[in-house]
A and B are shown apart, each in its own frame.
Chain A
Amino acid sequence: MSDKTTTSFMRSLCMGRIEQDCLFPFPVLSADQKEMLHEIAGALEGLLGSRTEDFSQWDADGDMPAQFIEELKEFGMFGLIIPEEHGGMGLGNMAYSRTLQEVGRYDASVAVTIGAHSSIGMRGLLLFGTDEQKSRYMPKLASGEMIAAFCLTEPGAGSDAAAIKTTAVRKDGGWVLNGSKLWITNGGFAEFFTVFARTGTGDGQGKMTAFIVTKDMDGVSIGPHEDKMGLRASSTTSVLFDDVHVPGENVLGEEGLGFKAAMQILNSGRTGLGGGSVGGMKHLIELSTRQANERKTFGQPISSYGLIKEKVGQMVVDCYTSEAVVTMVGGLIDEGCEEYAVEAAISKVYATECLARSADEALQIAGGNGFMREYPYERIVRDCRINRIFEGTNEILRLFIALTAMNDVATQLKELSRSMKGVFNDPIKGFGVMSDYARKHAGLRIRRGDIGKMTGLDPSIQPQVDIFEKKTRNLAQAADRILRKHGKNIIGKQFATKRLADIMIDLFVMACTLSRVQASIDANGVEKASREIEILKVFTREARIRIKRNFRRIDNNEDELLKALAVDAFEAERYRWDTI
């Protein structure tokens, strides 16, 4: 048994090892926290339940009234993850995620306002703040006297966050900050900014530092409210720093470790967005089932038609599996696991894509009404579109997911080559030669012993366990194969990387769902869990087909043709084959 705190389930899985203890038993909230969440849900209903018309008005206006922000503060919405001793609720990651789920049911703009504060804006303080910094700011952050924002993105640095140009230069024991940040959520009213700036010359990630900047410092200014496609009521502005003097004690975390800090904040905050997405899906299922039961065509409610059932059934599967994954990641964090970055990234990609699909299908179920502003669907489609872009685009996260795993496999192979004593000076280049050996070795590594086994699950879900184990072997083989094929060039092989990421996503979702269903069987017996077992069956079958296809296409694909077409289009910057 490995140490749960330092083991990443997915990184191990890529080497064929199923670290079952990481994901079993399925994390549950303590009775205490559960009760509290019930109360929070009830309280939120009081605050947000009767505001449907306001939300759609604020969407049209593209702004949220200041009075409502005051209500949110008074309600205590900004203290969710702040420890009790600093005046907050002290929610753990799982409970926080569940709370954002609840908010996400009502309105995405509100969820993002809360999320930008707790998930990212002040999370750096929670994770890396000194006691002094915490007692200075947390009470104000809990009461909402200070709302927080996370300032990383710049006009020239989005996905490539290490390319930021904002600088901080030492002066009089403090720092002078200059630069501009773009699209900062809560920018319009935030008082507390976690700002990332370059603090050394030259490039490299080690040259970035995180600072606590407050609105009252001279030289901080805010740009206009952005006019957006969705989340229109949430505040998004630029934030400008013009010779801002930041005291030395406002360095957040270690000097020079700002990039790492930014990534840790984003990782730890992912369950907020994941929770919001799950909440959105639950709401959509309510809307769609009602809509489909009420709407009649050809003399029958549309809920009686197969094509509508297909959509709703899939929505249920998407919601349940997303919830399993998001809850799992929250549980891992709460248990003190430190290696959850890949898992957290998977939860973000998966939940946001499930929500996008659910929103699109829900709109389709509503037909023409779905397209009308009078109905909620078009707004939900607009609101959730950003989820696949911010907090790391899903493309970047897919690369991260797969490359992290590949890095591990490469390291292992490197060790292997070292043990073969100087036969290969460059292990990566040596792949071709040692491929036979590696293949055999990988084969042994994967089939021998219990490392690729999941044990102790209910017989009723054994077929799904078998699929999981079998596909895990595929994953390990795929990682090996991709590495051997591309070696160091893997960084440039995004088609292959994406396939590996997609296999990993499917397997992690499968594992979390297995864990969740097993927990339900343990608690209520097979019969009562039968619906959940069906969800597992549906997901597993679909995932198996996808994995198979992704696996096959590692060697057999049209990647080069497709790339050539793109290259040609980039050259022409137009479509070449018009018919007139």
Chain B
Amino acid sequence: MKILVGIKRVVDYNVRVRVLNDGSGVDTDGVKMSVNPFDEIALEEALRIKEAGNAEEVIVVSAGGDECQQQLRTGLAMGADRAIQIQTSESLQPLSVARALLKIIEREQPGLVILGKQAIDGDNSQTGQMLAALWDRPQATFASKMVLNGDTATITREVDAGLETIEVDLPAVVTVDLRMNEPRFVKLPDIMKAKRKPLDVISLGDLGVSVDGNLKIHHFAPPPQRQKGIMVEDTAQLVQELKNRGLI
């Protein structure tokens, strides 16, 4: 079985994100970029499945400009066997990404697709769901545990009410949550090995996927600054203060 893992290049989670003065986006100039943390978890899970003898090949795929090859190389260094870059200079919305991934699925015929539950930049949490629908296969989102049993997978999902365990037929799309595993650290010799692994580049156009978005971003703004809090003596004062502010 092949496992396909999605990798997105995002602003590193440690960076304090700054909105550009003209509101056209966030400042990524000289800013540290990383693999979306949820995608690292997805890849780690795929690698563990392979190491347990339940998969033959792990393929990482990313859609973006050539700079996203960096994140693909990180994926290869972690242990993926090969990488595919879906090349585009456009910033893609989830639906376009899902369409592009579907094309890759048609080529590669993976038995399992693992994605992050969301990317920490846009926080969309849509690509996995859309992909499953387009592919017409089962989906298991927000997974915190996955057990493969031949043609099916038992998956524990983190939902608002607690944990939910479901079984899906494979192939399926699984999107992973934070608690699924702890991704391994890359070592320097892994980086050397990764240099020799194949990284294929396919342009988005060649896949026949259009980028026309059904969503338009008008402008970016930083969240309002947090107001300074006050200390209250007791509940009565708390209630009074809330009333003063017209909050209750």
Q: Which residues of A contact B (CB under 8 A)?
A: 35-36, 38-40, 42-43, 46-47, 74-77, 79-80, 84, 89
Does B133 interact with chain A (Cβ within 8 Å)?
no
* Structural contact, B74 and A76, CB atoms closer than 8 A: no
* Structural contact, B185 and A36, CB atoms closer than 8 A: no
User: CB within 8 A of B185: which of A46, A77, A80, A84?
Assistant: A46
* A89: B residues at CB distance < 8 A: 188, 191-192
* Structural contact, A76 and B188, CB atoms closer than 8 A: yes
Does B69 interact with chain A (Cβ within 8 Å)?
yes
* A36: B residues at CB distance < 8 A: 191, 195
| Interface pairs (15), CB distance under 8 Å | A35-B70, A36-B191, A38-B70, A39-B186, A40-B188, A40-B191, A42-B74, A43-B187, A43-B190, A47-B185, A74-B187, A75-B188, A76-B189, A79-B188, A84-B192
Bound-complex Cα distance A85 to B74 (A): 22
Bound-complex Cα distance A36 to B70 (A): 8
Does B88 interact with chain A (Cβ within 8 Å)?
no
B33's closest neighbor in chain A, by CB? Answer: A38
B29's closest neighbor in chain A, by CB? Answer: A528
Using A42-B34, A42-B74, A43-B77 as known contacts, say yes or no to A35 and B69 having CB atoms under 8 A apart. Answer: yes
Those 6 A-B pairs whose CB atoms lie nearest each other, nearest first: A76-B188, A46-B185, A43-B186, A76-B189, A39-B191, A75-B187
User: CB within 8 A of B191: which of A43, A47, A74, A77?
Assistant: A43
* Structural contact, A39 and B70, CB atoms closer than 8 A: yes
Q: Which residues of B contact A (CB under 8 A)?
A: 34, 69-70, 73-74, 77, 185-192, 194-195
* A75: B residues at CB distance < 8 A: 187-188
Bound-complex Cα distance A344 to B191 (A): 30
Bound-complex Cα distance A46 to B244 (A): 48
Bound-complex Cα distance A500 to B40 (A): 54
* Structural contact, B187 and A39, CB atoms closer than 8 A: no
Bound-complex Cα distance A566 to B188 (A): 53
* B34: A residues at CB distance < 8 A: 42
Bound-complex Cα distance A42 to B194 (A): 14
Q: How far is the CB of B47 from chain A (nearest CB, A)?
A: 15
Q: How far is the CB of B208 from chain A (nearest CB, A)?
A: 29
A36's closest neighbor in chain B, by CB? Answer: B191
Q: How far is the CB of B131 from chain A (nearest CB, A)?
A: 27
Q: How far is the CB of B19 from chain A (nearest CB, A)?
A: 17
B184's closest neighbor in chain A, by CB? Answer: A46
Given contacts A35-B69, A39-B194, A42-B34, 8 further A-B contacts (CB under 8 A): A39-B74, A39-B186, A43-B191, A74-B187, A75-B187, A79-B189, A80-B188, A89-B188
* A39: B residues at CB distance < 8 A: 70, 73-74, 77, 186, 191, 194
* B185: A residues at CB distance < 8 A: 43, 46-47
Q: How far is the CB of A429 from chain B (nearest CB, A)?
A: 57
Q: How far is the CB of A378 from chain B (nearest CB, A)?
A: 24
* B190: A residues at CB distance < 8 A: 43
* B192: A residues at CB distance < 8 A: 84, 89
Bound-complex Cα distance A80 to B195 (A): 15
Bound-complex Cα distance A77 to B70 (A): 21
* Structural contact, B188 and A77, CB atoms closer than 8 A: yes
Bound-complex Cα distance A74 to B69 (A): 26
* B195: A residues at CB distance < 8 A: 36
Bound-complex Cα distance A40 to B190 (A): 10
A77's closest neighbor in chain B, by CB? Answer: B188
Q: How far is the CB of A207 from chain B (nearest CB, A)?
A: 40
Bound-complex Cα distance A84 to B188 (A): 12
Bound-complex Cα distance A36 to B186 (A): 12
* B73: A residues at CB distance < 8 A: 35, 39
* Structural contact, A46 and B188, CB atoms closer than 8 A: no
Question: Chain A CB within 10 Å — which of B73, B74, B192 has the most?
Answer: B192
* B191: A residues at CB distance < 8 A: 36, 39-40, 43, 89
Bound-complex Cα distance A573 to B118 (A): 72
B191's closest neighbor in chain A, by CB? Answer: A39
* B187: A residues at CB distance < 8 A: 43, 74-76
Bound-complex Cα distance A79 to B194 (A): 16
Bound-complex Cα distance A11 to B148 (A): 69
Bound-complex Cα distance A75 to B185 (A): 9
Q: How far is the CB of B59 from chain A (nearest CB, A)?
A: 19
A39's closest neighbor in chain B, by CB? Answer: B191
Bound-complex Cα distance A89 to B193 (A): 10
* A40: B residues at CB distance < 8 A: 188, 191
Bound-complex Cα distance A341 to B74 (A): 37
* B194: A residues at CB distance < 8 A: 39
Q: How far is the CB of A293 from chain B (nearest CB, A)?
A: 10
* A43: B residues at CB distance < 8 A: 77, 185-188, 190-191
Bound-complex Cα distance A556 to B185 (A): 61
* A77: B residues at CB distance < 8 A: 188
Bound-complex Cα distance A47 to B70 (A): 19
* A84: B residues at CB distance < 8 A: 192
Bound-complex Cα distance A79 to B192 (A): 11
Question: Chain B CB within 10 Å — which of A39, A40, A75, A80 has the most?
Answer: A39
Q: How far is the CB of A43 from chain B (nearest CB, A)?
A: 4
A142's closest neighbor in chain B, by CB? Answer: B189
Bound-complex Cα distance A14 to B170 (A): 74
B66's closest neighbor in chain A, by CB? Answer: A31
Q: How far is the CB of A37 from chain B (nearest CB, A)?
A: 10
* B74: A residues at CB distance < 8 A: 39, 42
Bound-complex Cα distance A309 to B13 (A): 27
* A35: B residues at CB distance < 8 A: 69-70, 73
Bound-complex Cα distance A35 to B195 (A): 10
* A47: B residues at CB distance < 8 A: 185
Q: How far is the CB of A279 from chain B (nearest CB, A)?
A: 14
Q: How far is the CB of B41 from chain A (nearest CB, A)?
A: 14
Q: How far is the CB of B123 from chain A (nearest CB, A)?
A: 22
Bound-complex Cα distance A323 to B73 (A): 27
Bound-complex Cα distance A35 to B77 (A): 12
Bound-complex Cα distance A349 to B186 (A): 34
* A76: B residues at CB distance < 8 A: 187-189
A143's closest neighbor in chain B, by CB? Answer: B189
Bound-complex Cα distance A42 to B77 (A): 11
A75's closest neighbor in chain B, by CB? Answer: B187
Q: How far is the CB of A561 from chain B (nearest CB, A)?
A: 50
* B189: A residues at CB distance < 8 A: 76, 79
Bound-complex Cα distance A147 to B24 (A): 51
A34's closest neighbor in chain B, by CB? Answer: B70
A38's closest neighbor in chain B, by CB? Answer: B70
* A80: B residues at CB distance < 8 A: 188
Q: How far is the CB of B38 from chain A (nearest CB, A)?
A: 16
Bound-complex Cα distance A38 to B30 (A): 12
Q: How far is the CB of A224 from chain B (nearest CB, A)?
A: 32
Bound-complex Cα distance A240 to B196 (A): 44
Bound-complex Cα distance A80 to B189 (A): 10
* A38: B residues at CB distance < 8 A: 70
Q: How far is the CB of A366 from chain B (nearest CB, A)?
A: 19
* Structural contact, B70 and A46, CB atoms closer than 8 A: no
B69's closest neighbor in chain A, by CB? Answer: A35
User: CB within 8 A of B186: which of A42, A74, A79?
Assistant: A42
Q: How far is the CB of B68 from chain A (nearest CB, A)?
A: 11
Q: How far is the CB of A69 from chain B (nearest CB, A)?
A: 15
